[in-house]
Amino acid sequence: MARKVLVVDDDELTLQILKAILDLEEFEVTTASDGDQALRAIEGDDFDVIVLDVMMPGADGYEVCRSVKDDPRTSATPVVLLTARDREDDRQAGKDAGCDAYLTKPFSPLALVETITDLGLGKGKR
């Protein structure tokens, strides 16, 4: 069964790059362009991992992460924050929101795949 990932970013090029990377890793990728769209997608589907930008229109990545972690149905879903925000207080805000991993842009595709693998979702895992 395909591993399902939700990728959320307000930059269309970043969404396309992330989708291409994760398609190569045999994920079934759903994309959303803002936090509100992400929340609707999460309500309607079950994902194995969520990759979130932080700075987006509507609900930001921290808000989406908190919503995922506060919902008993989705609380075990790993959330990776992928953002340009790299200050210590940004990282702390990610931890406070409940993220499972925090990566900064520009990012290494290999680091993203390794992070997802470390969360137990590598090829062949479910």
Amino acid making up residue 42: I
Write down the pTM of the prediction: 0.92
Specify the 3-state DSSP secondary structure of 85: coil
Is residue 56 classed as helix, strand or coil in its secondary structure?
coil
| Tens place of pLDDT per residue across the chain (126 aa) | 678 999 999 999 999 999 999 999 999 999 999 999 999 999 999 999 999 999 998 899 999 999 999 999 999 999 999 999 999 999 999 999 999 999 999 999 999 999 998 887 755 444
| Inter-residue contact 122 to 116 (CB < 8 Å) | yes
